[in-house]
Structure 1
Amino acid sequence: MSEVNHVLVTQQFPEVEWEEKNSCFIVPSEKATEVVTWLKEHPAFRLDYLSCVSGADYLDSEVKTKEKNEDGKMEVTIIQVPAKMEAVYHFFSIENKTGPVLLKQRCMDRDNPVVQSLTPIYRGAELMEREVYDLYGIHFTDHPDLRRILMWPNFEHYPMRKDYVIPNDYDYEPTPHDEVIERARERRAQLEGGSM
């Protein structure tokens, strides 16, 4: 993405940050719908295709930086970085043949992460946002059907979170496909035995 384009966005929406390190927009959740609609409709962008929605989980951490002090000696500074969660969207423009354009909705409340759903703008976001909810626990406001998609309904945790601990006491629950698998095994045994 060219510098002109990201400057164009940050001029239009001063609350949007440009993260140079990852070449992405950081959009406040309350502005996400407005910003993304603008990016979809503006001729310089025409972001007409959403290819991916993913989640990211960051625990509290320390970042060490080195800087020269007044005496010219290197000094190490430790910066505390608070925990956060992000919903990350990857957009392309089929019309302009550009992309990817990355957009993050960041949530600093890791215990109750809530961001704005983009499903009303991009119908294809529905299942991807459900996946992010299911694996990271990020809630998407205005999502038409926010429920688990990969884990079973009464699963209590979010397995992609960094602090998730795999329990060793799972009970196996038979599922409807177990019967199908058993019939397939029986059929395979018949075929291998030569009987039809």
Structure 2
Amino acid sequence: MDKLDNQGIWTYLQEKFGERVGIIGEPHGLLTISTSKDDIIELLSFLKDDEKLQFIYLTDITAVHYPKQQKAFAVVYHVHNLYRNVRLRVKVFLEGETPTTPTATTIWNGANWMERETYDFFGVVFEGHPDLRRILNMDDLDVFPMRKEYPLEDPNRVDKKDFYFGR
């Protein structure tokens, strides 16, 4: 693999993982792939340690809530090859009220705070995390505020009615 582009990365990952990885798309030129929670640690380790890929920098871990899908949560990892300035997005789709996936702190120490934030806002449990607890919200908060379970605004507020704004 001389040039590290999306097609080359995808072909290389297909050779190594086969059906265990899937392609979601290339929005804005960013290759986005998916895998299962059983394969995520192996995939992330391969992306980091492989001499051809060298995605050594974990940019971000977050989640997305898709309440109308069977697998309602996606944990999203953004990794970066600093040598060739190439980025990759990896998604793991999870189901259940308490979605769980293995921790990436075994690969990157910096995953610690990112996973805590994802737990704090989405309720994703990272199995094996050394200190999984809330990081930004109050400890006694019993909801996860970034889940799409609540209306965006209070429907009883009268100051938000359209007729006040000439609509």
Q: What TM-score bracket applies, with the shorter chain setting the length?
A: 0.7 to 0.9
* Higher alpha-carbon Rg: 1
Q: Give 1:133's match in structure 2, choosing from 119, 143, 156.
A: 119
Count of matched residue positions in the alignment of Structure 1 and Structure 2? 146
Equivalent residue in structure 1 for 2:75, among 80, 87, 90: 87
- Give the conservation status (yes or no) of the 8 Å contact 1:10–1:18: no
TM-score by length of 1: 0.69
Distance 1:117 1:165 in 2: 31
Higher strand share: 1
Q: Give 3-state SS (helix, strand or coil) of 1:89's partner.
A: strand
Q: Which runs of 5+ in 1 are unaligned?
A: 61-80, 169-196
Distance 1:144 1:10 in 2: 32
Contact residue 71 and residue 94 of structure 2 kept, 8 A: no
Please state if 1:143 is matched with 2:144. Answer: no
The structure 1 segments of at least 4 consecutive aligned residues displaced by more than 6 Å after TM superposition are none
1:48 corresponding residue in structure 2: 56
- Whether the 8 Å CA contact 1:5–1:44 is kept in 2: the answer is no
CA distance in 2, matches of 1:118, 1:155: 25
Give CA-to-partner distance per residue, 1:111-133, whole Å, 9 cap, x none. Answer: 12111211110111100110000
Which residue, 90, 95, 99 being the options, matches 2:86?
99
CA deviations over 1:148-188 (Å, ceiling 9, x no partner): 0011111100000011358x9xxxxxxxxxxxxxxxxxxxx
**1:11 has 2:19 as partner:** no
Query: For residues 151 and 89 of structure 1, what CA distance do their matches in structure 2 show?
Result: 22
Give me the whole-angstrom Cα distance separating, in 1, the residues matched to 2:139 and 2:36.
Answer: 30
Measure the CA separation in 1 of the matches of 2:85 and 2:136: 32
Q: Please, what is the CA RMSD of the aligned residues?
A: 1.9
- TM-score, with length taken from structure 2: 0.80
